[in-house]
């Protein structure tokens, strides 16, 4: 999955011949899962049509502060546009537009939005080779760098003038690759390795039957996705579930029983920075597993159970640098029980679910949790979607390392 997925992008198009390439650029952003709003300078509409860019971006194109032909038309709010975006990209950025960006010369909607935006701004210059090297252009580059704007350097090649040299706008594929690489390098969990357990475990009774539970695994899968989206390398050790991570950078290790989950966790634990145990591990398993299918010969049938290993507690015993996060599902004396689990399992943080809260627990798309850290600082959370709870949990990790 591209780091651009779900990102809100403002593409500013200015009046250079390379503007025709922005049709491909919009397509590539959309293909990567981004939302795009296009702002065109009045001069750029001679090079590419607003209809092309609105069709490809699936959004109206903004050109003027308001539509002069339509009296009922609304003012285009550049402040709202600037605040909406996760980042802006101005491509092509002509020498004229760069000079306006440097001086705050706000005579069009694009520059007004640029000046209002608080998000990162990329720009891809495009001009003839001598213009590209002119001291005035070079000083624009310097000033824009000083403002924190990020230049996507022009490429070498044939120019519209017929000359050949540096000044061609970077190809749309290269612009996308540049932005993806830049965004990835700034993800807050880059370089961190995270282990997540998810789902139920199945404890065999005989070759066809097992003891299991109602866990869907959704909470753990959402945590794995959220951590990977923030740049972590994620190993997800999953019990039987039909789910798949949305982020294909997540490595999934599929297991069935508590014993297999224990072995897999211990295989990876030494190399990870964080472990999050979101699995609903069976606490007991049949002491003897029948080699053949059990026949219904008797009126009643008893299965003797033995304790499984507590995976989380075993990780707590050997942890060194790792941040260890567990879950607790309680029905009474919730806070007290959760605090005991923090100590018993040597955790840094526990995510408490109370079955007394409607909206929390197995098989629901929502969860209501309370965070309790090892110093017993208690933070009750609102009822949220499991995706949002996953992001909150991962943000706890981000602030730990901040």
Catalytic residue numbers, as ranges:
213
Stretch that binds ligand CTP, among 99-107, 153-161, 185-193, 310-318 (CB under 6 A): 310-318
Binding ligand CTP (rule: CB under 6 A), the pick from 43, 106, 329, 398 is 329
Check if the beta carbon of residue 9 is closer than 8 Å to that of residue 87. yes
* C-beta of 186 vs 307, nearer to ligand CTP: 307
Strands 349-354 and 323-330: parallel
Residue closest to 200 by CA, chosen among 241, 244, 259: 241
Cα separation, 377 vs 372, in Å, equals: 5
Query: Does 255 help bind ligand CTP (rule: CB under 6 A)?
Result: no
The alpha carbon of 53 is separated from its chain's Cα centroid by a whole number of angstroms, namely 27
DSSP 89: E
Question: Which among 45-53, 79-87, 324-332, 372-380 is the span making contact with ligand CTP, rule CB under 6 A?
Answer: 324-332
Question: Is there a contact between 12 and 36 (Cβ–Cβ < 8 Å)?
Answer: no
Bridge-based pairing of strands 193-198 and 274-277 is parallel
Footprint on residues 133-192 left by ligand CTP (CB under 6 A): none
**By three-state DSSP, how is residue 69 classified?**
coil
Answer for the pair 9, 32: CB distance below 8 angstroms, yes or no.
no
Tell me whether residue 4 or residue 360 sits nearer to ligand CTP (CB atom). Answer: 360
Minimum distance of ligand CTP from residue 364's CB (angstroms): 17
Residues 21-60 that bind ligand CTP (CB under 6 A): none
Segment contacting ligand CTP (CB under 6 A): 71-79, 99-107, 327-335, 380-388? 327-335
Scanning residues 257 to 276, which ones bind ligand CTP (CB under 6 A)? 258
Instruction: Tell which one of 13, 144, 312, 394 touches ligand CTP (CB under 6 A).
Output: 312
- In whole angstroms, the minimum distance from the beta carbon of 344 to ligand CTP comes to 7
Tell me the number of residues near ligand CTP by CB under 6 A.
15
Which region among 86-94, 156-164, 322-330, 381-389 touches ligand CTP (by CB under 6 A)?
Answer: 322-330
CA distance 231 to 234: 9
Is 311 a residue that touches ligand CTP (CB under 6 A)? yes
CB atoms within 10 A of CB 224: 34
Among 283, 306, 336, 379, binds ligand CTP (CB under 6 A): 283
Q: Which of 124, 279, 390, 394 binds ligand CTP (CB under 6 A)?
A: 279
Q: Are 369 and 360 in contact (CB under 8 A)?
A: yes
State yes or no: cis peptide before 185, omega within 30 of 0: no
Please count the residues of the chain. Answer: 402
Residues 331-360 interacting with ligand CTP (rule: CB under 6 A): 341
CB of 395 to ligand CTP, least distance (A): 19
Q: Whose Cβ is closer to ligand CTP: residue 113's or residue 257's?
A: 257
Distance CA 236, CA 226 (A): 12
Burial of 122 per CB tally in 10 Å (0-12, 13-18, 19+): buried
Residues near ligand CTP (CB under 6 A):
197, 258, 277, 279, 281, 283, 308, 310-312, 326-329, 341
């Amino acid at each position: 999955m591209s780091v651009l997925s779900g990102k809100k992008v403002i593409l500013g198009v200015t009046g250079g011949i390379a503007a025709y390439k922005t049709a491909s650029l919009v397509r590539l952003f959309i293909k990567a899962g981004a939302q795009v709003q296009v702002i065109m300078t009045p001069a750029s509409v001679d090079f590419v049509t607003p209809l092309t860019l609105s069709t490809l971006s699936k959004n109206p194109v903004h050109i003027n502060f308001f539509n002069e032909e339509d009296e009922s038309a609304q003012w285009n709010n550049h402040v709202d546009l600037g605040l909406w975006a996760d980042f802006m990209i101005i491509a092509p950025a002509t020498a004229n537009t760069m000079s306006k960006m440097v001086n705050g010369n706000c005579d069009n909607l694009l520059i007004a939005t640029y000046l209002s935006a608080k998000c990162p701004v990329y720009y891809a210059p495009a001009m003839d080779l001598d213009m590209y090297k002119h001291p005035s252009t070079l000083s624009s580059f310097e000033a824009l760098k000083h403002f924190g704007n990020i230049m996507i350097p022009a490429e070498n090649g044939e120019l519209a003038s017929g000359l050949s040299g540096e000044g061609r706008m970077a190809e749309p594929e290269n612009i996308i690759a540049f932005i993806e690489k830049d965004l990835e390098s700034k993800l807050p969990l880059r370089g961190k390795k995270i282990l997540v357990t998810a789902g139920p475990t199945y404890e065999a009774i005989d070759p066809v039957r097992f003891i299991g539970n109602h866990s869907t695994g959704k909470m753990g899968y959402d945590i794995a996705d959220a951590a990977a989206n923030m740049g972590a390398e994620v190993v997800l050790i999953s019990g039987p579930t039909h789910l798949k991570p949305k982020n294909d950078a997540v490595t999934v290790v599929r297991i069935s029983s508590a014993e297999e989950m224990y072995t897999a966790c211990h295989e990876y634990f030494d190399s990870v920075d964080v472990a999050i145990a979101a699995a609903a591990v069976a606490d007991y398993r049949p002491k003897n597993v029948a080699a053949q299918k059990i026949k219904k010969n008797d009126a009643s049938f008893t299965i003797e159970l033995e304790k499984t290993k507590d995976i989380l507690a075993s990780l707590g015993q050997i942890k060194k640098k790792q941040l260890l996060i567990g879950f607790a599902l309680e029905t009474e004396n919730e806070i007290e029980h959760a605090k005991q689990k923090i100590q018993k399992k040597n955790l840094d943080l526990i995510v408490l679910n109370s079955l007394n809260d409607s909206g929390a627990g197995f098989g629901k798309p929502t969860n209501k949790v309370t965070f309790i850290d090892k110093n017993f600082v208690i933070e009750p959370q609102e009822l949220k979607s499991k995706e949002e709870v996953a992001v909150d949990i991962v943000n706890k990790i981000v602030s730990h390392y901040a």
